Structure 1
Amino acid sequence: MSNPQNATLARVKGAAIDGRLRVLRIRQQLFHSLHGALIQRREELLQTIQNDDNCSAEEALVVYGSSLIDLRNHYNALDLSTGLQEEYRLARKESNENKRTPIAMTYIIPGRFALFFSLISALCAAIEAGSCVIVEFQDTTIKTPSLLQEIIHTSLDLEAFAIVSDRAPAEYLAQCVVIDQSNAITAEDVFPRRTLSSPISRSIAFVDRTSDIELAAQEIVASRSAFGGNSPYAVDLVIVNEFVLEKFNIAATKALQSIREAQKLHQLPKEPSHRVKISNNKIFDDANRDDNLQWVSGIKMNRSHQLARTKVPSSRIVLVHSVTSLDDSIDFLGTDAQQEIPIATLYLFSGEREAKYLSQYIVSQATYVNHIPAQLVVGPRTPFDYAINLHQRYTRDMFEFPSPQIVPSKRSHLTSTIFTKASFIDSVAREALKDIRQPKSGAWGFFEQGIVIGAFVYLLPMFSITITGVGYGVWRAYWSIRS
């Protein structure tokens, strides 16, 4: 590592020790400065995004707009009055059980996909938390890193923010939150204070016979086609109930054709040749010999095939697998082969009751019913230990640790007097647990109630008619005898 980089890292560490970003007003000013710089360089940024990400003008606008919206969401979360209320709770003899303290430094290793959004989303979350930031940009031919470096240097505090080209030492990273969007950090070499990585995961879509097939096909194909299929949350495998398989294939093919026509109309960039040639790969040739997995865009395979259990390479290919029932899909995704790569997002196109059943037994980081959120198309994966937030890819709590402040209360127990209350504690500890209110054995349950209701509905009318008929017969016989 060069001496200038050592000096840069030391400078940021000094700002972190001084608590440079602890002051809320300073963080608000940083957001304003960064936002103004991004607006000022808008046209240049849009062109750079379009060139580096090989995307359309519309896709570049989505990346740029999503980044600024993410910035605004973090800025809006800062409120001076709320911050002061929290800060002075202890002075008012009130506990602050939710107090959190920022981890002083953040080290960002941006990912290659949607680099602009990937960096801005992480940077803004760190600023909101009050953490100083080091960004690692390796030597590259793309222009986004150099443009972002210029923006950071002109809009942010150079004492608290820096760009480096070489990996910081392990002992330095041990003091940082490391955002590893490229999966470049290995646990054997580095032990950061906290690691927010973007591990490889899959996105699975399920189309049930109770779903809107046209909507499902449009959402799935759009997810797979956006940004050349590079999005981490693009659908990797579609599981379709065989009852609606043919209908879904037709709808998906129609959606694919609409995308091709839009490309021709707007002259959108074509995918690199290696993505097209993948259909000639032996994986796809071998898959054509089995009918267990149906296909869209020329692909089919059985459920034991490699592509049915892996992350699909960047392409606009839609892989479709048929199942016979909800339970069949649960059993399929529960196999050891399917568990090798975890499911990040589960997109369920079905009725609400079917969605409840599937999401209960298929483990995923998040489940979305009858839609694929547009917010997920851009940016890196959310770290697995945190909930996926559609408004912010990274959240403030990822850069903080809990540090509650507690004052004595009526329920507090002083250490100096605890042993004088030993008998009371013992009596409380031996109290019986609350009744779980489970019906006693032999009590009428669901099926017994059903039998009684059925008997009431079907047998009571027959019993009433019989009694009425017998009564009428007795009455007629009585009057016949008297006559």
Structure 2
Amino acid sequence: MPCSLADVRSAAIDGRAQNAFFKKEQLKKLHETLVENVSQIQDAISSDTGHRLSEVKLEYCLALECVAKCFGAIDPKSSLHDEYAVARSEDAPDAREAVGIIVIEPTTHTFLFSLVSALAPALAAGNCIIVEQTMLKTPRVVLDIISRALDRDIFHVTSKQLSDAEIDHRHIRVLQSGTSNASLGGQIVSQAESRVVAVIERDADLQAAAEAIVRARFSLGGRSPYAPDLVLVNEWVKKKFLTAVTQCAVRFAPDTTETLSKADQHKHGLANKVVEERRCRVISSDGSGLIVDVEDRATFLLQSKVKEACIAVYGIRSMDDAIDIASSHGRHLALYVFTAMPAAAKYIAQFIDTDVAFINQIPVEILFGPANPGGKVLLRTHAERYDATQFSLPSPQYASHTKDGQMLSSLLSDVSSRELRKLEQKAMAPLPEVKRKNWRTIGFFEQGILIGGSLLLTTVITCTVVLCYYTVKFVRPGH
């Protein structure tokens, strides 16, 4: 067994990484080292991914911001005060303790930010870290830089998946690629294979929707887990939307000839597969991605998550049609709704099963990093996927006695107590009646019925008045 793994276990047992000053020092060193090696890191990312320069720089900046935020959240004075609360006969209801060891299996998508988004809060919670390495260039460069920054006893890199027995200490695994192993211990699993759907209603701002869809799907090589896998567009505006998407796609061409060559290889391979299948019509294969009009829902593009720069557009007849189609794919990682009517957005978001819904927007910050872990609310600020509480355990400490506890303690030994009878009567008292207001809010479809009914009634009244007028005019004597 590697000595460094044994050192990490010893450090976790000793709680070496839990001191607030130590945590701040480690995060500061990590930040400084990432800044000192900016060129090497960005060159490695660019070489591995072929991302545009702006995308590489944004990923780098988001990673630094994540470290800085975790650094700023640690207050040694407050931590020391809370640690000795019981010594002052005070309660510490929010006290937490580190898990011990956090095992990170990072995704290859935006590797730097994905790794740091878990690493920084895990360090801030006072844990030791084990990272499983891949063979790409970026991980080797980044992990080597991080190894030089952090204390040797709290950070270890391995090329294989360690068993629970090998770790031999309380730990949590962060699985960013979404592959869960039930035989292993506690896991925080990203929903990496969950699909993302966008719904474009006929009243939507088509230009804004097209720009958002193209930006999400064609940025970062089309590999973001939050890029839309399927775009459902109302048939009335599908042609205009496809035109807008095609125009927007030109702006997302790769920066360099080498990157363009790589993008073309993937794009043409996918386009050939689409043509051979004959279930989609290729609208455009220019720029940095593929745009297709889905004619048959049996196409392979709708059977699994899309991991390339490809926008698949399918025409829908109504909102209910969109809901039925989306529901066939199970629960979604995200839903994007584009419509000018808030009531319509509410209706669609309510009936499409999804972890999160965004109305008339696709936030750029969520395109970086791994898919959000299951069961956790997506934090949009700085594209966060994790926080320190996920890497710590609640360990409250209480020194005071509650009034209810003291009362119950006295009643426990006195069955005939008057206070006990009063407590029983209070507990058995009926709950208040549920009162509903007589009025109700007019829903989306009720509004449509009322508007349609009003138009029909207006037409009938107008026709009746005109008919009566001419009837009287031609029937009156003397005419």
- TM-score, L = length of structure 2: 0.82
Q: Give the letter aligned to residue 359 of structure 2.
A: V
For the residue of structure 2 that corresponds to 1:21, the secondary structure is helix
State whether structure 2 residue 154 is matched by structure 1 residue 157.
no
Identity rate, percent: 29
**1:35 aligned partner:** 31
Indicate whether 1:167 and 2:156 are aligned. no
Q: Deviations over 1:78-120 (max 9, x none)?
A: 1234434433443444433333222111011122222222212
Q: Which residue of 1 aligns with 2:171?
A: 176
TM-aligned CA deviation for residue 438 of structure 1 = 2.2
What do residues 107-141 of structure 1 show as CA deviations (whole Å, max 9, x unaligned)? 11122222222212111010111111011214x2x
Matched to 1:377, the amino acid is L
- CA distance in structure 2 between the partners assigned to 1:242 and 1:94 by the alignment: 65
* SS class of match (2:196): strand
User: Could you list the per-position Cα deviations for residues 240-276 of structure 1 after superposition, in whole angstroms to 9, with x for gaps in the alignment?
Assistant: 122222221111111113334x757997664161442
Residue 297 (1) aligns with residue 294 (2): no
1:343 aligns with 2:332: yes
**Counterparts in 2 of 1:308 and 1:166: CA distance versus 1, 3 Å:** closer
* Residue identity matched to 1:344: L
Alignment CA distance shift 1:117-1:269 (3 Å): farther
8 Å Cα contact 2:200/2:337 also seen in 1: yes
Whether 2:298 is the aligned partner of 1:313: answer no
Distance 1:224 1:147 in 2: 27
1:358 pairs with one of 344, 348, 356: 348
1:199 maps to 2:192: yes
Residue matched to 2:273: 281
Report the AA paired with residue 148 of structure 1: V
Q: Deviations over 1:41-83 (max 9, x none)?
A: 1111110110012222222112211111111121122123443
Report the CA distance between 1:433 and its aligned residue.
Answer: 0.8
Residues in 2 aligned to 1:55 and 1:358: alpha-carbon distance in whole angstroms = 34
Q: Which amino acid aligns with 1:300?
A: V
Summarize the Cα distance change of 1:161–1:250 in structure 2 as closer, same or farther, 3 Å threshold: same
Q: 1:361 to 1:84 in 2, by over 3 A?
A: farther
- Contact kept in structure 1, 2:97 and 2:394, CA below 8 Å: yes
Q: Rate the CA distance shift 1:167–1:21 in 2: closer, same or farther, 3 A.
A: same
Of 390, 393, 398, the match for 1:401: 393
Give 3-state SS (helix, strand or coil) of 2:393's partner: strand
The verdict on how the C-alpha distance between 1:401 and 1:267 changes in structure 2, with shifts beyond 3 A counting, is closer
CA distance in 2, matches of 1:93, 1:324: 67
Structure 2 unmatched runs, 5+: 283-289, 448-479
1:10 correspondence with 2:3: no
Question: Which of 42-51 and 170-179 deviates more?
Answer: 170-179
Aligned mates of 1:389, 1:31 — CA distance in 2: 21
Mapped to 2, the partners of 1:191 and 1:446 lie a distance apart of 50
Q: Work out whether 1:381 is the aligned partner of 2:353.
A: no
Q: Distance in 2 between matches of 1:43 and 1:62?
A: 14
Of the candidates 91, 95, 103, which is equivalent to residue 95 of structure 1?
91
State how far apart, in whole Å, the 2-side matches of 1:178 and 1:207 are: 38
Shift of 1:378: 1.5
Amino acid at match of 1:428: K
- Matched with 1:479 is none
Q: Which residue of structure 1 aligns with residue 470 of structure 2?
A: none
Instruction: Output the CA distance in 2 between the equivalents of 1:17 and 1:163.
Output: 19
Shift of the 361–240 alpha-carbon distance from structure 1 to 2, 3 Å rule, reads same
SS in 2 for 1:204: strand
- Counterpart of 1:44, as a letter, is Q
The corresponding residue for 1:111 is 107
Deviation at 1:224, TM superposition (A): 0.6
Aligned-partner residue type, residue 232 of structure 1: P
User: Aligned in 2, Cα 1:272/1:10: closer, same or farther, shift over 3 Å?
Assistant: farther
Q: Which residue of 2 aligns with 1:244?
A: 237
Residue identity in the other structure for 1:318: I
Is 1:372 paired with 2:362?
A: yes
Match of 1:55 among 41, 48, 51: 51
Q: Sort the Cα spacing of 1:29 and 1:202 in 2 relative to 1 into closer, same or farther, 3 A.
A: same
Q: Deviations over 1:451-470 (max 9, x none)?
A: xxxxxxxxxxxxxxxxxxxx
Q: Please give the secondary structure, in 1, of the residue aligned with 2:94.
A: coil
Q: Given the superposition, is the C-alpha separation of residues 268 and 274 from structure 1 closer, same or farther in structure 2, using an over 3 Å criterion?
A: closer
Measure, in 1, the Cα distance between the counterparts of 2:178 and 2:66: 23
CA RMSD of aligned residues (A): 2.7
Decide whether aligned partners of structure 1 residues 144 and 264 sit closer, same or farther in structure 2, where only a CA change above 3 A counts.
Answer: closer
TM-score (structure 1 length as normaliser) = 0.81
Counterpart for residue 437 of structure 1: 435
| Cα deviation code 1:129-184 (max 9, x no counterpart) | 1111011214x2x3223222322232111111111222222224572110112345
Q: Deviations over 1:263-292 (max 9, x none)?
A: 5799766416144211221686331489xx
Structure 1: how far apart are the matches of 2:376 and 2:84? 29
- Which residue type is aligned with residue 399 of structure 1? F
3-state SS of 2:294 partner: coil
What displacement does 1:422 show? 4.4
Partner Cα distance (1:92, 1:434) in 2? 43
Provide the rounded CA distance (Å) in 2 between the counterparts of 1:357 and 1:27: 46
Provide closer, same or farther for how the CA distance between residues 348 and 422 of structure 1 changes in structure 2, counting only shifts above 3 A.
Answer: same
Aligned to 2:320: 327
Determine the C-alpha separation between the residues in 1 that align with 2:397 and 2:206. 53
Which residue in 2 is equivalent to 1:135?
131
CA distance in 1, matches of 2:204, 2:97: 46
